[in-house]
Amino acid sequence: MMRITTTPAAAIVDATAYAQAVENAVGAAAAYYAGGTSPLDDDAYDRLVRGIADWEAAHPDQVLPGSPTGKVAGGAAEGDVPHTVPMLSLDNVFSAQEFTAWTASLARRIGREVTRFGVGPKLDGLAIAARYRDGRLTRLITRGDGTAGEDVSHATGTVEGLPEELAEPVTVEVRGEVLMTAAQFAYANEVRTGHGGQPFANPRSAAAGTLRARERVHTVPMTFFGYGLLPLPGTDRALAGRLDGLAHSDLTTLAAELGVHTSARTAVPDVVTETPEQVLDRVKEIAAVRAGLPFGIDGIVVEADLAADRRDAGSGSRAPRWAVAYKLPAAEKITRLLGVEWNVGRTGVVAPRAALEPVVIDGSTITYATLHNPADITRRDLRLGDHVTVHRAGDVIPRVEAPVAHLRTGEERPVEFPRQCPRCGSDIDTGEERWRCARGRNRHLVASLAYAAGRDQLDIEGLGATRVVQLVDAGLVADLADLFALRRDRLLALERMRETSTDNLLAAIARAKEQPLSRVLCALGLRGTGRSISRRIARYFATMDDIRAADADAMQRVEGIGAEKAPSIVAELAELAPLVDRLAAAGVNMTEPGATPPGPDAAPGGHDVPGAPAEGGPLAGMTVVVTGAMTGSLEKLSRNEMNELVERAGGRSSSSVSGKTALVVAGEGAGSKRAKAERLGVRLATPDEFAALVAGLLP
């Protein structure tokens, strides 16, 4: 059963509050449609408009003429280029119950059940009509107030996916959405701030502002997604008749054949379903992959696919009655930046973190968010006290996007950058975007060694942070390799070290030599790697020699390692070569059990390459998520050991549940991940059931 995610209406208690709500909503809509900015995020605007609609339903004699309800774009947009067919907005539903009620209302209106629904992403951009004469693009028009729009033909040539010439010399109007992908948004802000401008708050406002800007010294690309075709005056009569009779899905297919970009080749293509239940299943599928999409969506469009159903349903003044937007929980909100905290990682990276005024996004209260690096703070011109947009989708860590500059009061203060390492007071190396303590991992030796000795790395029992400090202060350990050269007599000379504790520690260190290569790699603490990436590298290359021989291109063949991370890993391995040599000389294992080196033609990161999960295991080809506390025979396994077990069984471990997840192992206290698996229909297993699946591989 799908979780109900109804957006609550804003509470309006009297006529005065209603009038203020109308003023606020109209002002927010006007700011957005004029330049892509708004004092309200999508969720706050939706709540406000729903509150206005509820008040008007209860007080129909007090409706103000300026109310945004019943109007395209909230009545805020205008235009002087008439549309041949009104270009309307969509009504919204926020839950499975509201959607079911909408389908029932549609069936009553047309006198029959709808048997074909088109379901696709609701793209978070700007609606556009593109007019073609004899196959050549002649005009771009915004939606405006639905009856007339603004001519933005000056943007022709900057919108990818909207060809200047169609594959056939036809006269038609293509309707669709212009947006910025994540990559285009990053580039747009880089260019804009490089020219002294304020960064855009989000991709939606970036697309709206860029499309309307007639005079600018720089251009940035946008992307068009087509979803409809209409005849124009001058359209061939046979073609016009054909367009009027085609199902919506066929119109989209025809648009793609003419060379227009659609959602067909994305992870969320439009599909046709037959029942409301199938629609809801598709809604869950799209919602599950939302966080990983390269472009923003804020819901799913559901519409009657057949032309007859659409014709019989008709349209209102604001929206068609045959289509609706199933809105998803907001992934973005506006809140205030209260402070910036500076943390130092085990490799010496000095990382900023935003402290926020608490805000609820997708059911979670967010008080901290990622700020990437100091250069990013400068590039975005973030200031303490700023209103900022915060983005979070699914299990993605919240991040601060940009300040909402037009909400500044003048009381905001610059962010102060540290001049010395917050942990040890050493100088900071600011030569790269990611700042580091100048003494790097050597200065933070205690943290690095304690990490390396941890249960999920070398698992050296008895070597906690306190003991590491003692060894470092005594001059017995200066790097990881020194652990394997410790002598019994030197340890016995230390305070609180007796014969039993000394022998136990030496035995644990000796056992650590037999750990698989993946754990040794993890213990080295390479920047940009962790337990999962270390396992993938070790399983792909099989031996430390092969890993060290790999260049950046070869390293990118490992799943999850991209063009930015690969050179860093290769460079740091070269830097650590003397340490690795000493570890090998001390007898530390440098191979991964069960893995074989890749051949010269190995494909990137797939099951067909050496080092990938075993094909024949009980979990072959399955993506598995482990959540909650394990019990029974799995009780003593750490989360890392559980993930290792998944991969030895042929599966792929993951930390987040999505539509690609095949199995969720739900232990005691499993919460949101179990709930998400239930919503998506993902198979669940108890710890005992999972133990039975992998019985032959348990330690």
Task: Return contacts of 311-318, CB within 8 angstroms, 24+ apart.
Answer: 312/109, 312/110, 312/111, 313/106, 313/109, 313/110, 314/109, 315/86, 315/88, 316/70, 316/88, 317/70, 317/71, 318/69, 318/70, 318/71, 318/72, 318/88, 318/89, 318/91, 318/146
Nearest to 346 by CA among 479, 252, 436: 436
Q: Are 306 and 244 in contact (CB under 8 A)?
A: no
Would you give the end-to-end CA distance of the chain in angstroms? 38
Q: Tokens standing for 580?
A: 């690795």
Give the three-state DSSP class for 403.
strand
Residue ranges of E strands in 172-221: 172-179
Query: H/E element holding 514?
Result: none
The residues annotated with a catalytic role in the active site are 122
- What's the full length of the chain, in residues? 699
> Which amino acid type is present at position 164?
E
Q: What is the distance between the alpha carbons of residues 244 and 307, in angstroms, rounded to a whole number?
A: 7
Contact 669, 630 (CB under 8 A): no
CA distances from 485 to 464, 477, 479, 503, 586 (A): 18, 9, 11, 14, 7
Instruction: Tell me how far apart the alpha carbons of residues 320 and 317 are, in angstroms, rounded to a whole number.
Output: 8
Whether the CB-CB separation of 448 and 483 falls below 8 Å is answered with: no
Q: Report d(CA 104, CA 571) in Å as an integer.
A: 62
**Integer CA distances (angstroms), 476 to 68, 453, 460, 479, 483, in order:** 73, 16, 17, 9, 8
